[in-house]
Structure 1
């Protein structure tokens, strides 16, 4: 199978959303992960989000990454269940890390749900250890609906 990567575009949204919904362990919400929310994210991070396609140009992987100018963050990395364990996720991570580094970012963080065993194994294998010295906190400032797969 030939794998191609390219920058993610808003036109990819419908296929990306379908991909997210096919992947167990994804945590989405109706605001940030809506077409409008993803549009804002891509406008702020035009060169750090990537998709992977197969030889039929079907979208089979996605990674969204961005930065605040100081730290990089990785969000919603997923590969279609039928295409996992083929190195596609690693290719996408490397593309995002390279782009973040070209933007002057030296450290990257991400959040994985504790119950997402395969996701945690993937990140551990790629050299992203668990930080036991941090407490993750967040607060919703707008009402949102969680969408868990």
Structure 2
């Protein structure tokens, strides 16, 4: 198993992984063109976990706005869970952000993703916020 930066050529494998993972909600921004634009705006930040055969078994999309990091699609395929890989992806992402001077990050976790909620509740240094609400455009 190894962690490396995500490249545009990884898109098809990642889509397959994301589609088979409960708790991941795909949207138009996950299609190839916006995915590649995201990687270009955030070079070498997004991470892929691959098995010894080179198959994508985990991911973490990582971006920033110059002040804060933003994390999306943190997941490890079910056969590889419970081995610390999600935490390793998270630590590597935070390390890479810190090299850019970004020390605070946000993650948005869907309420209907109990495994994801449980993961984040157990992470030291991360706390659920109840002082803000997030509003997003509907895309209509």
- TM interval, shorter chain, is over 0.9
Question: Does the alignment pair 1:38 with 2:51?
Answer: no
Contact 2:94-2:103 at 8 Å conserved across structures: no
- Tell me: higher relative CO, structure 1 or 2? Use CA pairs within 8 A at least 6 residues apart: 1
* Residue segments in structure 1 that go unaligned for 5+ positions in a row: 144-149
What is the CA deviation profile of residues 75-99 of structure 1, one whole-angstrom value per residue up to 9, with x for unaligned ones?
1111111111111111111111000
Number of residue pairs the alignment of both structures matches: 139
Contact 1:22-1:81 at 8 Å conserved across structures: no
State the superposition RMSD in angstroms.
Answer: 1.0
Match of 1:99 in 2: 96
After TM superposition, which residue ranges in structure 1, 4 or more long, deviate above 6 angstroms? none
What is the CA deviation profile of residues 39-85 of structure 1, one whole-angstrom value per residue up to 9, with x for unaligned ones?
01000011210101112222111100110001100011111111111
Contact 1:52-1:59 at 8 Å conserved across structures: yes
Match of 2:21 in 1: 23
Q: TM-score, normalised by structure 2?
A: 0.95
Shift of 1:139: 1.1
